[in-house]
Structure 1
Amino acid sequence: MDRIRIAGGRPLNGTIPISGAKNATLPLMIASLLTPDRLILDNVPRLADVIQLQRILGNHGVDVMVAGKRPGDTAYQGQTLEISAAHVIDTTAPYELVSKMRASFWVIGPLLARMGEAKVSMPGGCAIGTRPVDLLIKALEGLGARIDIDGGYVVARAPKGLTGGHVVFPKVTVGGTHTALMAATLARGTTIIDNAAREPEITDVADCLIKMGAKITGAGTSRIVVEGVARLSGARHSVLPDRIETGTYAMAVAMTGGDVLLEGARPELLQSALDVLVEAGAEITATNEGIRIVRNGAGIAPVTVTTAPFPGFPTDLQAQLMALMTRAKGTSQITETIFENRFMHVQELARLGARIHLDGEKATIEGVERLKGAPVMATDLRASVSLVIAALAAEGDTMVNRVYHLDRGFERLEDKLSACGADISRISG
Structure 2
Amino acid sequence: MTTEQSFLIEGGNSLHGSVRCSGAKNSILPLVAAAIAVRDVVSFQNVPDISDLQSLLTLIQAMGVKLVSFSNGEVVLDTRGPIETRVENTNGYSLRGTQTLVGALLGREHRAMLPSLGGCSIGARPIDLHIKGLRAMGTQFEWKDGYLVGQAKALKACDVYLDFPSVGATENLLLAAALAEGTTRVFNAAQEPEVYDLISFLNKAGARIVPVFPFGFRIEGVAQLHGASHRIIGDRIEASTLMMATAITQGEATITGIDVRHIWSIVAKLRETGAVVEVKGDDAVVVKGVPGYRSTDIRTLTFPGYPTDAQPQMTAYLTLAHGNSVVVESIFENRFGAILELERMGARIKVAEETAIIEGVESLNSATVQAKDLRGGAALVLAGLAAHGTTTVKSIHHIDRGYEALDGKLSQLGAHVTRVNQPEVS
TM-score, normalisation: structure 2: 0.96
Counterpart mapping for 1:59-74 below 5 A:
59-69=62-72
* 8 Å contact from structure 1 (residues 13, 259) kept in 2: yes
Cross-structure match for 2:44:
41
* 8 Å contact from structure 1 (residues 303, 333) kept in 2: yes
Aligned-partner Cα distance in 2 for 1:122–1:415: 34
Indicate yes or no: 2:404 matched with 1:411.
yes
Aligned-partner Cα distance in 2 for 1:23–1:96: 23
After the TM superposition, list the runs of 4 or more consecutive aligned residues in structure 1 that deviate by more than 3 angstroms.
Answer: 95-99
Give unpaired runs (5+ residues) of structure 2.
none
Cross-structure match for 1:260:
253
* 8 Å contact from structure 2 (residues 120, 374) kept in 1: no
Task: Note the alpha carbon deviations across 1:291-350, whole angstroms, 9 max, x for none.
Answer: 111124x32210011100000000001000000000001000000000001001000000
Cross-structure match for 1:294:
288
Q: Which amino acid aligns with 1:129?
A: G
Counterpart mapping for 1:19-418 below 5 A:
19-69=22-72, 79-96=73-90, 100-124=94-118, 126-159=120-153, 161-218=154-211, 222-288=215-281, 290-296=284-290, 298-418=291-411
* 8 Å contact from structure 1 (residues 203, 220) kept in 2: no
Task: Note the alpha carbon deviations across 1:37-65, whole angstroms, 9 max, x for none.
Answer: 11110000010011001011112100113
Indicate yes or no: 2:18 matched with 1:15.
yes
Relative to structure 1, is the Cα distance of residues 220 and 97 closer, same or farther in structure 2, using a 3 angstrom cutoff? farther
Secondary structure of 1:285's aligned partner: strand
Secondary structure of 2:156's aligned partner: coil
Cross-structure match for 1:6:
9
Relative to structure 1, is the Cα distance of residues 97 and 170 closer, same or farther in structure 2, using a 3 angstrom cutoff? farther
Secondary structure of 1:109's aligned partner: helix
* 8 Å contact from structure 1 (residues 306, 334) kept in 2: yes
Relative to structure 1, is the Cα distance of residues 67 and 128 closer, same or farther in structure 2, using a 3 angstrom cutoff? closer
* 8 Å contact from structure 1 (residues 375, 399) kept in 2: yes
Alpha-carbon shift at residue 94 of structure 1 (Å): 2.1
Worse-superposed segment, 262-271 or 280-289: 280-289
Alpha-carbon shift at residue 154 of structure 1 (Å): 1.2
Q: Which amino acid aligns with 1:31?
A: A
Cross-structure match for 1:426:
419
Alpha-carbon shift at residue 285 of structure 1 (Å): 1.3
Aligned-partner Cα distance in 1 for 2:410–2:121: 27
* 8 Å contact from structure 1 (residues 348, 377) kept in 2: yes
Worse-superposed segment, 213-222 or 381-390: 213-222
Aligned-partner Cα distance in 1 for 2:28–2:326: 32
Alpha-carbon shift at residue 358 of structure 1 (Å): 0.4
Aligned-partner Cα distance in 1 for 2:324–2:119: 34
Alpha-carbon shift at residue 126 of structure 1 (Å): 4.6
Alpha-carbon shift at residue 221 of structure 1 (Å): 5.6
Relative to structure 1, is the Cα distance of residues 238 and 332 closer, same or farther in structure 2, using a 3 angstrom cutoff? same
Aligned-partner Cα distance in 2 for 1:383–1:372: 18
Q: Which amino acid aligns with 2:55?
A: Q
Cross-structure match for 1:73:
none
* 8 Å contact from structure 1 (residues 266, 291) kept in 2: no
Aligned-partner Cα distance in 2 for 1:310–1:411: 23
Q: Which amino acid aligns with 2:57?
A: Q
* 8 Å contact from structure 1 (residues 98, 123) kept in 2: no
Q: Which amino acid aligns with 2:244?
A: M
Alpha-carbon shift at residue 265 of structure 1 (Å): 1.9
Secondary structure of 2:209's aligned partner: strand
Aligned-partner Cα distance in 2 for 1:127–1:219: 34
Relative to structure 1, is the Cα distance of residues 125 and 425 closer, same or farther in structure 2, using a 3 angstrom cutoff? closer
Aligned-partner Cα distance in 1 for 2:363–2:239: 25
Q: Which amino acid aligns with 2:145?
A: G
Relative to structure 1, is the Cα distance of residues 316 and 109 closer, same or farther in structure 2, using a 3 angstrom cutoff? same
Worse-superposed segment, 384-393 or 412-421: 412-421
Aligned-partner Cα distance in 2 for 1:405–1:140: 31
Q: Once superposed, what is the RMSD of the aligned Cα atoms?
A: 1.4
* 8 Å contact from structure 1 (residues 198, 219) kept in 2: no
* 8 Å contact from structure 1 (residues 98, 122) kept in 2: no
Secondary structure of 1:147's aligned partner: strand
Percent of pairs identical after alignment? 38
Secondary structure of 1:40's aligned partner: strand
* 8 Å contact from structure 1 (residues 302, 331) kept in 2: yes
Q: Which amino acid aligns with 2:7?
A: I
TM-score, normalisation: structure 1: 0.95
Alpha-carbon shift at residue 124 of structure 1 (Å): 4.5
Aligned-partner Cα distance in 1 for 2:62–2:386: 44
Worse-superposed segment, 332-341 or 112-121: 112-121
Relative to structure 1, is the Cα distance of residues 283 and 221 closer, same or farther in structure 2, using a 3 angstrom cutoff? farther
Aligned-partner Cα distance in 2 for 1:89–1:203: 26
Worse-superposed segment, 303-312 or 142-151: 142-151
Secondary structure of 1:218's aligned partner: strand
Cross-structure match for 1:75:
none
